Amino acid sequence: MQADYVIVGAGSAGCAMAYRLSEAGHSVLVIEHGGTDAGPFIQMPGALSYPMNMKMYDWGYRTEPEPHLNNRRLAAPRGKVIGGSSSINGMVYVRGHARDFDHWRDEGATGWGYADVLPYYKRLENWTDAGHGGDPDWRGHDGPLHVTRGQMANPLTRAFIEAGSQAGYPVTPDYNGEQQEGFAPFEMTVHKGQRWSAANAYLKPALKSGKCDVIRGLAGRVVFEDGRAIGVEVTRKGRQEIIRANAEVILSASAFNSPKLLMLSGIGPAAHLSEHGIDVIADRPGVGANLQDHLEVYVQMAASQPVSLYKYWNLPGKALVGLTWLLGRTGPGATNQFESCGFIRSAAGVDYPDLQFHFLPIAVRYDGKAAAEGHGYQAHVGPMRSESRGHVTLNSADPAAPPKIFFNYMSCDSDWRDFRRAIRLTREVFAQDAFAPFSKHEIQPGADMQSDDQLDDFIREHAESAYHPCGTCRMGRADDPRSVVDPQGRVIGVEGLRVADSSVFPRIPNGNLNAPSIMVGEKMADHVLDRTLPADNAQAWIHPEWQTAQR
């Protein structure tokens, strides 16, 4: 029960770390509380609304009452399964904008600028352009993670990109390449019709190497001797035992569970730890702070033609989709249905996109409930860089107790301004000629919801998390009191312990978080191995008139 490296969490970053460390010849043990990812609910991309709502695969966390959202408690799913959240997510692949990572660097995460992370994106990708265009020089072609584009068979999916163009926005051949800004085909982590999670891409090959193994159990705390992490206390089969690390312990347990584990282990805000009777090993006020997320609303339209995916939203339809997928990994079940998207700036003077659209050719919620109107379509939209910050704290010193999650959503005036703009700009796109053959009426917010106050009421009642939590073990300079880890991922104040997952993000990047989480796992593995890929100074596109034009 020991290895060179003990990794807590078989999620996006943890699987990538396990693969790279074992590939370099080290023994690795991965501790995962969840079980197998086998079965169609996870492996069939079209079934994505199921696993994130199943206790078997999800930690089942909820936020504290959010005061600016009518005191609602929002779902905060995280994967409790091999592959972590990459096994229950929407499979959307977005690297983030170059300026996101330059901001990380400028905030004290030295060596994490765009030039530093771009080589790692290329290393992890196995990109197939599917004939849609894009410059292959910006992409990776032989990495473990397959990235593909949908067939865009549904006319609504194509209409969304056309409508964006008609509204005056650019169409970009590859938002993950030189130019993010604009409307584009969406990319997904799907390979030959199957979800290509971090487990399929990284962990399963690592397990075959003989250098890596997975231990099922609940990690309770990191064990220290003389200020150095020497292992992890795990509860499994009703017994506590210590899994020992010869070299290092690495936490890749999510933006909720990594700070929780640090606090249970005596690393965090001293006063908070003392409240729970936990001996303080390192007083780090940043542990659990800086919590960020993307909040979004669905702007839903009823369709005038039966062209949406609603035709499958019944028992025979779902059975047909499932059977087609089981027999040949084809049909509607072989895609996540997020096949077109947009990245735009909310106003002149914003230097790079701060709004993202996920377009879906059906009017449906994340919990799988379809709109009563039947056929429809929707765009998920929300601000990418909210100024609101929340925190993760302990409910108790019991490792089995869930953490206390408080996002403090919509606590800044700028959030409300940006959200109203997001809804109005979405309506403008849906009003273009490309949607004229399909448009019937607006389901939500509803055509009568026009004033700022009406939109604010709608946001309070209907805004949902996009499930992109991050920032709670902030990476930065070792002398910055906000920092939890240094730019090599080492926890400040102790030895032999690192964090590698979305919790280390200094600020939330622009887009879905799975790709940057895997990139962090790839790059942190190189920091552990004391090596680094040479920088790539390719220059990303910025709108030449961003200071004076919104599009």
Is the separation of the CB atoms in 92 and 360 below 8 Å?
A: no
**Do the strands 376-383 and 295-303 form a parallel or antiparallel pair, or are they unpaired?**
antiparallel
> Three-class SS of residue 311?
helix
Separation of alpha carbons 37 and 194, rounded Å = 12
Question: CA angle at residue 527 from 201 to 208, to 5 degrees?
Answer: 30
Q: Known binder of ligand: residue 512?
A: no
Token pair belonging to 328:
């040949």
Helices 98-106 + 114-124 axis angle, to 10: 130
**Do the strands 497-499 and 239-251 form a parallel or antiparallel pair, or are they unpaired?**
parallel
- Residue 406's DSSP bridge partners are 391
Catalytic residue among 146, 358, 468, 543, which?
Answer: 468
Q: Which amino acid is at 197?
A: S
In degrees rounded to 5, what are phi and psi of residue 232?
-130, 130
Separation of alpha carbons 208 and 232, rounded Å = 24
Separation of alpha carbons 66 and 136, rounded Å = 44
Q: Which residues contact 50 (CB under 8 A, 6 or more apart)?
A: 41, 368
Q: Known binder of ligand: residue 92?
A: yes
- Residue 344's DSSP bridge partners are 355
Separation of alpha carbons 343 and 354, rounded Å = 7
Separation of alpha carbons 105 and 111, rounded Å = 6
Q: Known binder of ligand: residue 350?
A: no
Token pair belonging to 485:
């880890």
468 catalytic, yes or no? Answer: yes
Token pair belonging to 424:
């109005």
Q: Known binder of ligand: residue 81?
A: yes
> Three-class SS of residue 461?
helix
Separation of alpha carbons 291 and 381, rounded Å = 20
Q: Known binder of ligand: residue 376?
A: no
Separation of alpha carbons 122 and 143, rounded Å = 7
Which residues define the annotated binding site? 81, 89-92
Active-site residue list: 468
Binding residues for FAD: 81, 89-92
